[in-house]
Amino acid sequence: MGKLLVVGSVALDTVKTPFGEVTEVLGGSATYFSTAASYFTSVDLIAVVGEDFPEQHVAFLKSRKIDLAGLERRPGATFRWKGAYSHQLNEAQTLDTRLNVFETFRPKIPAQYSSPDVLFLGNIDPNLQLDVLQQVKRPALVACDTMNFWINGKRDALWNVLQHIDILIINDGEARALGEDTNLVKVAKKILARGPKHLIVKRGEYGVLMFNDKQVFGAPAFQLLDGLEPGHQPDGDDLQVGAEVVEVGGVLDGGKGDEGSPPRFQRHQAGLGELPDGLPDGGAGDGELVGELDLGEPLTGPDEAPDDGFLYLFKDDLAKVDVASR
């Protein structure tokens, strides 16, 4: 893909759904975009956080090999967003937005970031998005995100931004608010006429729609059997269970296994389900080792883990730990 620069929000989110609630978890458009993109390419991130931003979140971003030279920490509080979802998970209701240090954020593009191949303008003030565009050499592709806060408060500036981008990514509620119509086809025509070559509309459990001047393309959402509260991530306590994660081929039995031993997995309850029948009971509790599972064949990653509602820890030949929430 080449060099990817992401400029946007890193936030602490409080989210309530019918299935659970989380308080001040890692959020923000730049966070989610950078994390997803890090599985495919290297990512440079520019954002601002307050002095209250937890170090564990910085460690997570670093673990994804995201370049944080552009992550600025300032005195004051980190940007916070509070929202709620109904059973219709395709649209959030914003309950509270506190910009905090984000309010006076002025992105400064380091020289090493000034010529990206791809630029993603995350959810920040449209005037700042324009400022970023003026600080970099025009990338081959520019994508943009926004939210109702800016659509309602700085509509004219946002329309100006859209003249200079290739892709706009918003949810259906934001699309209707920006296009001032309930019909997404009419909304798409209005938005595409203002500059973007493509409009991607996120529709939650219903998937996404992509509009351009030639076609409309729809993709369904991946259907989940069980849902967790948004923002749930196993923390360090979930993973520290008194057994060393060794290379594939080792036995996860609280110590180092012999080379050539059948690959096994540590299975951790972490509050995600009950112990399946026929497996050893290790005194199951949140984050405790509840048994070892020898499936007979070498298993190399999360995609091969049993779908039983537990966490499985793996270590591949690059000595990188992956966590699968199943």
The full set of domain ranges for the chain reads 4-219, 234-326
Query: Pairing state of beta strands 216-219 and 66-74?
Result: unpaired
Position 252 scores a pLDDT of 35
Position 205 scores a pLDDT of 82
Phi, psi (rounded to 5 degrees) for 67: -75, 115
CATH number of 4-219: 3.40.1190.20
Sign of the torsion angle spanned by Cα atoms 302, 308, 311, 313: negative
**Distance (Å, rounded) from C-alpha 20 to C-alpha 11?**
20
**Distance (Å, rounded) from C-alpha 81 to C-alpha 322?**
28
Position 307 scores a pLDDT of 54
E-assigned strands of the chain?
4-7, 11-17, 20-27, 43-50, 66-74, 80-84, 93-98, 118-121, 141-145, 167-171, 198-202, 208-211, 216-219, 265-268, 289-293, 311-315, 321-325
Position 315 scores a pLDDT of 37
pTM for the model stands at: 0.68
Contact, 269 vs 263, CB < 8 A?
A: no
| Sheet bearing 80-84, strands edge to edge | 20-27, 11-17, 80-84, 93-98
Written as six digits, the tokens of 46 are 């520019």
- Write the Ramachandran bin of 42: left for phi over 0, alpha for psi from -120 to 50, otherwise beta: beta
**Distance (Å, rounded) from C-alpha 47 to C-alpha 30?**
8
Contact, 284 vs 269, CB < 8 A?
A: yes
Burial 174-200 (b: 16+ CB within 10 A, else e): bbbbbbeeeebeebbeebbeebbebbb
Q: Measured between alpha carbons, how far is residue 47 from residues 32, 42, 88, 109, 277 in Å? A: 13, 16, 31, 10, 47
Burial group, residue 173, by CB count within 10 angstroms (0-12, 13-18, 19+) = buried
Written as six digits, the tokens of 203 are 């529709």
Written as six digits, the tokens of 264 are 């096994």
Sequential pLDDT tens for the chain (326 residues): 679 999 999 999 999 988 889 999 999 999 999 999 999 999 999 999 999 999 999 999 999 999 999 999 999 999 999 999 887 777 788 899 999 999 999 998 988 999 999 999 998 999 999 999 999 999 999 999 998 889 999 999 999 999 999 999 999 999 999 999 999 999 999 999 999 999 999 998 889 999 999 999 999 988 766 555 444 444 433 332 222 332 222 333 333 334 444 334 444 333 333 333 333 333 333 333 333 333 334 444 545 555 544 444 443 322 222 333 32
Torsion of the alpha carbons at 291, 296, 300 and 301, rounded to the nearest 10: -50
Q: Which amino acid is at 153?
A: G
Written as six digits, the tokens of 172 are 């259906």
**Distance (Å, rounded) from C-alpha 318 to C-alpha 258?**
19
